[in-house]
């Protein structure tokens, strides 16, 4: 008895180009062609960059960078406050365009989404043609540009969308995927951060081809559960479906440090930098939660989390900072070397309950990144 071959999916990853900054330059002609940062301010305590225009990126400015650093790199950079209501309205228009072609849409943020166009509504047939039409509609109707990646899996489509920014369109077909992954630098693998990339390079793993020489069991032993993902993805195996709806359980940000943090003062300083970015993500997604969680990963890769819930909602940056100080004061970090910090808000709809939690190695909090 013969079995039909599985349907090969047609996946498009759409990523708007410098979204917030591009909307500001679209709406205010005097900002066009100038180095622009949305979010943060070099005044007072400052903040962090939410989005930088391509003109600003030429100076090395990027998202999550402290505003004071951005100004130091480019003294003439222009800072503007984010207009999240406008960005949300543009995002709704963007999704109206998507829905002309498919209803299987997985949003990752206001400006980024996966589309499964295997059965496209207009019967166009070719995913590249659909991507071209979407890009054209975005340009003509929204006066913005988007980059698109097209492939048979989410992982490869996402990488493809990054290859020719801005206004790019890249197709990586089934016959090219393994060779493409073999030639990809490890730091380009989504999910491989700076510290993991440095660790891989110290082991002689510079590209996918180097990663491919390791057995699955070895990668799991070296990197934990994510090692199984590395083993599969370097072989082009990614069967995750495009999921039209995902309930947001938490919103968080985290950072890994080149040098371990050993004092609470240093940790608090880093948490305050992360707070601004967390608040921006909450605001742009219209979310208010009741529980704040701090995450600590130590030098030996063990992880603990500490949480605090409040009556009402965690609504603003000062409140996040206050709770962060309270949690940090109560956390025993004696003789601990911290290599990663994370901060997140959850419990958006559930009843309030005060809590303190601790997870050992292998049990990190579920963090949803946008």
Full-prediction pTM beyond 0.85?
Answer: no
Residues in the chain: 370
Q: Return the pLDDT at 72.
A: 93
- Please list, in sequence order, all residues whose beta carbon lies within 8 angstroms of the beta carbon of residue 150, skipping any fewer than 6 positions away: 10, 11, 12, 13, 127, 128, 131, 157, 160, 169, 170, 171, 172
What are the average pLDDT values for consecutive 10-residue runs of the chain, which has 370 residues? 65 96 97 92 71 95 88 94 90 95 91 94 94 97 97 93 94 92 88 84 94 94 88 89 78 86 91 87 80 90 88 84 91 88 81 33 30
Which domains, and CATH codes, for the chain?
7-172 (3.30.70.270), 177-233 (1.10.150.20), 250-346 (3.30.1490.100)
Q: Return the pLDDT at 348.
A: 79
* Residue in 243, 247, 264, 227 with CA at minimum distance from that of residue 341: 264
> Which are the catalytic amino acids?
112
Round to whole Å and give the CA distance between 198 and 193.
9
Q: Return the pLDDT at 302.
A: 85
Q: Return the pLDDT at 267.
A: 92
Q: Return the pLDDT at 247.
A: 64
Q: Return the pLDDT at 170.
A: 96
* Residue in 71, 68, 12 with CA at minimum distance from that of residue 36: 71
Q: Return the pLDDT at 195.
A: 82
Report CA-CA distances (Å) from 216 to 180, 212, 226, 238.
20, 9, 10, 15
Round to whole Å and give the CA distance between 356 and 185.
40
Q: Return the pLDDT at 38.
A: 92
Q: How far apart are the first and last CA of the chain?
A: 45
Report CA-CA distances (Å) from 49 to 23, 187, 314, 337, 340.
16, 22, 22, 28, 20
Q: In 39-90, which ranges are E strands?
A: 51-52, 78-80
Greatest alpha-carbon span in the chain: 73
């Amino acid at each position: 008895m013969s079995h039909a071959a599985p349907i090969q999916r047609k996946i498009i990853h759409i990523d708007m180009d410098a979204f917030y900054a591009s909307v500001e330059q679209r709406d205010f002609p005097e900002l066009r062609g100038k180095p622009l940062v949305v979010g943060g301010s070099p005044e007072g305590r400052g903040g962090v960059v939410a989005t930088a225009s391509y003109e600003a990126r030429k100076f090395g400015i990027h998202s999550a960078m402290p505003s004071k650093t951005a100004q130091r790199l480019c003294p003439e950079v222009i800072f503007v406050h984010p207009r999240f209501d406008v960005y949300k309205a543009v995002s709704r228009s963007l999704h109206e365009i998507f829905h002309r072609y498919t209803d299987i849409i997985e949003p990752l943020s206001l400006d980024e989404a996966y589309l499964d166009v295997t059965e496209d509504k207009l019967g166009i047939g070719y995913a590249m043609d659909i991507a071209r039409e979407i890009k054209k509609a975005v340009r003509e109707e929204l006066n913005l540009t988007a980059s698109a990646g097209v492939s048979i899996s989410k992982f490869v489509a996402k990488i493809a969308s990054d290859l020719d920014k801005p206004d790019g369109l890249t197709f990586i077909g089934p016959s090219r995927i393994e060779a493409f992954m073999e030639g990809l630098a490890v730091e380009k693998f989504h999910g491989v951060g700076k510290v993991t990339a440095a660790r891989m390079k110290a082991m002689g793993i510079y590209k996918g081809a180097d990663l491919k020489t390791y057995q699955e069991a070895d990668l799991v032993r070296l990197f934990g559960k994510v090692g199984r993902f590395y083993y599969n993805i370097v072989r082009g195996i990614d069967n995750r479906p495009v999921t039209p709806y995902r309930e947001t359980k938490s919103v968080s940000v985290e950072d890994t440090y080149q040098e371990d943090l050993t004092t609470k003062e240093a940790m608090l300083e880093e948490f305050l930098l992360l707070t601004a970015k967390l608040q921006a993500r909450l605001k742009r997604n219209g979310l208010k939660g009741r529980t704040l969680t701090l995450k600590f990963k130590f030098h030996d890769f063990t992880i603990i989390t500490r949480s605090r819930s409040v009556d009402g909602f965690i609504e603003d940056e000062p409140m996040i900072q206050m709770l962060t100080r309270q949690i940090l004061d109560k956390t025993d970090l004696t003789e601990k070397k911290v290599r990663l910090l994370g901060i997140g808000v959850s419990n958006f709809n559930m009843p309030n309950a005060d809590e303190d939690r601790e997870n050992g190695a292998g049990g990190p909090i579920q963090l949803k990144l946008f």
